Amino acid sequence: MKTVRVITIAREYGSGGAAIGQELATRLGWKLLDRELILELARRAHVQPSEVSQMDEHPGSFIARLLKAFWLGDTYTWSGPAPDVVDPDYLAELSAILIREAAKLGQCVIVGRGAQCVLREREDAFHVFVYGSRQEKLKRIQDRYPPHTECEAPLDEFDRIRAGYIRRYYRCDWANRHLCHLMINSDAGIDRTVAVILSAAGLAAQEKR
């Protein structure tokens, strides 16, 4: 494997995958491609986050300008037309475009969106699947809901949706171990999980702290 320039994180709901992605990006000084990126792209493009989220990144000149703005700190104003139809198929295609463009720039952590499938041919991408015990995942997601909220159903439903997304658009099994370089149980905590990922990817020496 070449020197790792991209880390992708596939994750079970409640496993802490988003927090792990954030911590990896922080320790490496890399960009994070996750929910935070939608807000950053919207701010620099002077559009509403809901517009970017609905489009899940627009192709062509729009995506190129937003990526340049995000990585280089430039400010652009988008005045082009919105697509006539925005549906899940369109969004999946645009997500793949964004993932590929981000990977070309490198030094980024990509959470979800089937990135392990989109970038499976890239030798500089390190693919991680984060899972956890049901007990620990329930503990994590219970903190997101009011007391006494039933959390069992969301725990299963989110994973079902993610698996369906990967199956529909990439014809892959979401939890297929052959798509990943590392499958890791996050029950030991975010810090330990991140440390193992960095070591396995050969990036421990690049930590900023």
Residue listed under structure tokens 């499938």 = 117
- CATH 3.40.47.10 assigned to 1-30+108-203: no
Q: Where are the domains of the chain?
A: 1-30+108-203, 35-105
Q: What is the pLDDT along the chain (209 residues), one digit of tens a residue?
A: 689 999 999 999 999 999 999 999 999 999 998 765 555 545 544 545 665 554 443 323 444 445 555 555 554 444 444 545 445 666 677 778 888 888 998 999 999 889 999 999 999 999 999 999 999 998 888 877 776 667 777 788 888 888 888 888 889 998 899 999 999 999 999 999 999 999 999 998 887 76
> What is the pLDDT, as a whole number, of residue 143?
76
Q: What's this model's pTM, rounded to 2 decimal places?
A: 0.78
DSSP lists the bridge partners of residue 128 as: 9, 182
Strands 125-131 and 182-185: parallel
Distance CA 72, CA 60 (A): 18
Q: Give the neighbor-by-neighbor strand order of the sheet with 182-185.
A: 31-33, 108-111, 6-11, 125-131, 182-185
